[in-house]
Amino acid sequence: MPTLIDDYESGDPQRVLHAVWQTIGCRDPELLDPLVAALPRLRARTADVELGGMIYSNSTHREHAFQVIENHRDGLCWCAAYPDSLTYDPRKEQNRGHAEIRSTSTPGWEMTYECVCAVCGQVFDVEQGDHHVTWWRWVPRGVKRRRRRGSSNVGGGA
């Protein structure tokens, strides 16, 4: 089985994109830790790979995958990735147990959600829009908290 690092370094757009999406959906430190160590190399090896993209350039997703790796390196909560990409569907995040939808506007193509990170409790205002594909803009309220060295004096009360 090729590792994600092998895929990133393959020079093959399909394999690079596979690794990119595996990284973006990943919350497994055992998979992410090796990517942290290899990150400078991964950036260099993928810089010239033409990833294409029908509507949005896939290189945007590659950059987001690297952001996910950096967030993990820096000990940020998983939800720190949300504002960096327009691809996080609140309903899917809720189904995965990553976030909870507290309320929504009237459902439609364009709507808003109030979401809470299931790990750190960060609240987000999420705007859903539609431009060729559906997108979601996550805006955190207040100051971001950390996953590992988390403070306990902030939050909605227990």
The residue ranges that bind Zn ion (CB under 5 A) are 77, 79, 117, 119-120, 122
Smallest separation (angstroms) from Zn ion to the CB of 36: 19
Smallest separation (angstroms) from Zn ion to the CB of 145: 7
Smallest separation (angstroms) from Zn ion to the CB of 3: 27
Q: 104: number of CA atoms within 13 Å, CB side?
A: 12
Which tokens hold the place of 81?
Answer: 């990735």
Identify the bridge partners of residue 146 per DSSP, sorted by sequence position: 76
Q: 147: number of CA atoms within 13 Å, CB side?
A: 16
Instruction: Name the residue nearer to Zn ion (CB basis): 20 or 99.
Output: 99
Smallest separation (angstroms) from Zn ion to the CB of 147: 7
Instruction: Name the residue nearer to Zn ion (CB basis): 6 or 28.
Output: 28
Helical spans, DSSP H, in 25-128: 29-46, 58-73, 90-95
Identify the bridge partners of residue 107 per DSSP, sorted by sequence position: none
Instruction: Name the residue nearer to Zn ion (CB basis): 15 or 27.
Output: 27
Instruction: Name the residue nearer to Zn ion (CB basis): 27 or 91.
Output: 27
